[in-house]
């Protein structure tokens, strides 16, 4: 299977595939959280959209285990020529997200794109997640380092 199709050696949307997104990648790679996805969104939809900005290495749409229905969010890994190019493009992608006139749209639905590079899983439950994000802490991550979606929190 080709990189960027959300599969690799993992089943798309599987917990093993999701855990692979937590591993630190090369310095020319960025990871993005994509929230507000339409439930019908597939990995190839995200790849098709994001490849206009750079090389899409991998995508994942998070799914309900029982039904395999999308949970409305996913992640994208992208690579650029070097670390500086990666940073410039990450800033560009985040600025598009903040632009009320432009924004990011996948399957005709506006989505919320945030950096996922800055999340550091706490070493222990009492330790809060650390962020190095110029835009501030990720509002999708609560004080316990849990991904907050609607009224549910999911362990990273």
pLDDT in tens, 84-122: 999 999 999 999 999 888 899 999 999 999 999 876 555
Strands 109-115 vs 104-106: parallel, antiparallel or unpaired: antiparallel
CATH number at residue 60: 3.30.70.330
- The answer to whether position 30 is within a domain reads yes
Higher pLDDT, 61 or 3: 61
pTM exceeds 0.75 for this model? no
Mean pLDDT of 37-51: 96
Mean pLDDT of 13-28: 70
Strands 109-115 vs 55-63: parallel, antiparallel or unpaired: unpaired
- The answer to whether position 134 is within a domain reads no
Is residue 71 helix, strand or coil?
strand
State how far the Cα of 64 lies from the Cα of 55, in Å rounded to an integer.
Answer: 28
Longest dimension (CA), the chain: 41
Strands 55-63 vs 29-35: parallel, antiparallel or unpaired: unpaired
pLDDT of residue 11: 52
For the chain, how many structural domains are there in total?
1
Domain residue limits at 80: 24-114
- The answer to whether position 69 is within a domain reads yes
Q: What are the DSSP E strand ranges found in 1-155?
A: 29-35, 55-63, 70-79, 104-106, 109-115, 147-149, 152-154
Residue count (the chain): 156
- The answer to whether position 44 is within a domain reads yes
- The answer to whether position 77 is within a domain reads yes
Q: What is the mean pLDDT of the chain?
A: 77
User: Is the predicted pLDDT of residue 140 greater than 90, yes or no?
Assistant: no
- Where do the H-state alpha helices sit in 54-116? 83-98
């Amino acid at each position: 299977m080709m990189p960027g199709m959300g599969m690799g050696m993992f089943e798309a949307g599987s917990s093993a595939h999701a855990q692979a997104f937590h591993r630190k990648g090369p310095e020319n790679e960025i990871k993005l959280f994509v929230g507000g996805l339409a439930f019908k969104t597939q990995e190839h939809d995200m790849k098709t959209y994001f490849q206009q900005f750079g090389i899409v290495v991998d995508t994942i749409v998070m799914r309900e285990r029982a039904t395999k229905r999308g949970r409305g969010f996913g992640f994208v890994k992208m690579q650029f020529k070097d670390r500086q190019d990666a940073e410039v493009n990450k800033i560009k992608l985040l600025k598009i997200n903040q632009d009320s006139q432009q924004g990011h749209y996948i399957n005709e639905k506006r989505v919320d794109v945030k950096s996922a590079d800055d999340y550091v899983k706490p070493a222990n439950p009492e330790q809060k997640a650390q962020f190095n994000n110029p835009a501030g802490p990720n509002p999708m991550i609560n004080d316990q380092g849990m991904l907050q979606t609607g009224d549910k929190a999911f362990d990273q």
